Amino acid sequence: MKAISIGLLGLGTVGSGVVRIVENHQDKLMHQIGCPVHIKKILVKDLSKERGVVVDRSLLTTDANDILENPEIDVVIEVMGGIEQTREYLLKAVRNKKHVVTANKDLMALYGSELLTEATANHCDLFYEASVAGGIPILRSLVEGLASDRITKMMGIVNGTTNFILTKMSKYGSPYEEVLKEAQELGYAESDPTADVEGLDAARKMAILATLGFSMNLDLDDVKVKGITEITEEDLDYSKKLGYTMKLIGIASRCGEKVEVSVQPTLLPETHPLASVNDEYNAVYVYGEAVGETMFYGPGAGSLPTATAVVSDLVGVMKNMRLGVNGRSVVAPQYKKNLKDASEIFSKYFVRLHVKDEVGVFANITSIFSEHGVSFEKILQLPLKQKDLAEIVLVTHKASLKDYEEILQKLNDYEMVKVIKSTYRVEGDGAL
């Protein structure tokens, strides 16, 4: 088999890692696929920019067509980011019969179905393992390792930036703004951190996971999203007092033929496996009817972990080339989209209230919950510095989201409730 030539779109953090791995692991790649692998062209914005890796200047180009229309290039690896222009590049690549490997979760969450369909029609592979959870092989595990099982729930920490921020806030009591600045200085957070801290990055990844895990076409718009920007030091303190740890958790669950996908700050018991996942690490907990509980843990970002996932996909493409089966790995979704409504989503909830400190107020609040058949698992009641106010912190037993939303509305309308300070989902009792 002849040498395989690669065109690389982008030479940033991940692109530099891909170059390093391809150059340093030639013996391993040769052993896996039986032929050499060469990077033939690399698309960059600025030819004179200093790089994190030394590359021959003759490999660099600012014209994408030097890769997309080059008949000698077999595989296009996309690590440049972006959505609309990148989509056009990848469509052009597969139409020119080039296989594609991408680490772009934004692109796959929005246009994954279109790109996979186009790749299959052109007998090309399109692999995207690195788009979710960096170096953790979660997508391949769902598609291959757990292919015979029926996945009922996936739940995890899939954004390293927010996990780093919440870890620092919880462990050291550091204020949000201070930790965000530290995350930006360390390169964990972008200068505009909106996609991370508002939960959008995690939501895109959960849409991809749920589509694969449930064999159902789920879009970003199907994911209910709440970020971490409103979490306070008091919320974290009360969580600890009640035996919980706060994490930004992505949840995708299926009951019968109906699914729910969400990303939101969630309280986990300190005994839950995800509660001990700290700093920039990611972990995904998967529950299958046959296998039971499995957990995938590792670095969720970074040059070499993400590049490892990219090059693993590259190996998959090249093995398919050797076997002559490219473009046959995509399996169309088995089920039509069927989302749970609010009356079918059940969880425990944490709620923190400031109320008038008067006789009978707590009894009235209890009756609002009991009208909807919702009881309490844990209760804290504390006086506030303002003499006429008290703080009540409650953790409910399981309730439907519909009932809980109606309860919140009634609490808002009750004149003795000064303010609902915060409310969060509570998951698990040490296990799923």
Q: In which band, very low, low, confident or very high, does the pLDDT at 151 lie, cut at 50, 70 and 90?
A: very high
Query: Between the CA atoms of 155, 156, 162 and 164, what dihedral angle is there, to the nearest 10 degrees?
Result: 150
pTM: 0.88
Lowest mean pLDDT among 22-31, 269-278, 414-423: 22-31
Instruction: Read off the pLDDT of each residue in 208-231 and give the average, rounded to a whole number.
Output: 92
- pLDDT recorded at residue 430: 37
Tens of pLDDT, residue by residue over 323-344, are: 888 877 776 777 899 999 999 9
Domains 4-134+303-323 and 342-426 alike in fold: no
Tens of pLDDT, residue by residue over 55-90, are: 999 999 999 999 999 999 999 999 999 999 999 999
- pLDDT recorded at residue 41: 97
Strands (E), 158-243: 224-225
For the cut 50, the answer to whether the pLDDT of residue 432 exceeds it is no
Q: How many residues does the chain have?
A: 432
Tens of pLDDT, residue by residue over 301-310, are: 677 888 888 9
Instruction: Read off the pLDDT of each residue in 195-210 and give the average, rounded to a whole number.
Output: 93
Collapse the DSSP code of 61 into the 3-class scheme (helix H, G, I; strand E, B; otherwise coil) and give the result.
strand
Instruction: Read off the pLDDT of each residue in 395-406 and give the average, rounded to a whole number.
Output: 97
Instruction: Read off the pLDDT of each residue in 365-392 and give the average, rounded to a whole number.
Output: 93
Q: What is the CATH number of domain 138-299?
A: 3.30.360.10
- pLDDT recorded at residue 386: 80
> Left if phi > 0, otherwise alpha if psi is -120 to 50, otherwise beta: which for 46?
beta
Please count the CA atoms within 13 angstroms of the CA of 358 that sit on its side-chain side: 10
> Left if phi > 0, otherwise alpha if psi is -120 to 50, otherwise beta: which for 296?
beta
Q: Does the active-site annotation cover 97?
A: no
Lowest mean pLDDT among 173-182, 183-192, 199-208, 278-287: 183-192
Percent of the chain with pLDDT over 70: 98
Tens of pLDDT, residue by residue over 111-145, are: 988 999 999 999 999 999 888 877 788 887 887 77
For the cut 70, the answer to whether the pLDDT of residue 423 exceeds it is yes
- pLDDT recorded at residue 1: 62
CA proximity to 352, closest of 261, 265, 257, 250: 265
For the cut 80, the answer to whether the pLDDT of residue 228 exceeds it is yes
CATH of 4-134+303-323, one of 3.40.50.720, 3.20.20.10, 3.40.1390.10, 3.40.50.2300: 3.40.50.720
Distance CA 263, CA 323 (A): 40
- pLDDT recorded at residue 129: 85
DSSP string, 246-307: EEEEEEEEEETTEEEEEEEEEEEETTSGGGG--TTEEEEEEEETTTEEEEEEEE-SSHHHHH
- Tokens representing 357 are 């400190």
Topology of domain 342-426 in CATH is Alpha-Beta Plaits (3.30.70)
Collapse the DSSP code of 179 into the 3-class scheme (helix H, G, I; strand E, B; otherwise coil) and give the result.
helix
For the cut 70, the answer to whether the pLDDT of residue 429 exceeds it is no
Query: Between the CA atoms of 333, 337, 343 and 347, what dihedral angle is there, to the nearest 10 degrees?
Result: 40
Mean pLDDT in the chain?
Answer: 91
Q: 């919880």: which residue's tokens?
A: 170
| Candidate list 40, 98, 205, 340, residue with the active-site label | 205
Neighbours of 293 (CB within 10 A): 12
Domain boundaries, the chain: 4-134+303-323, 138-299, 342-426
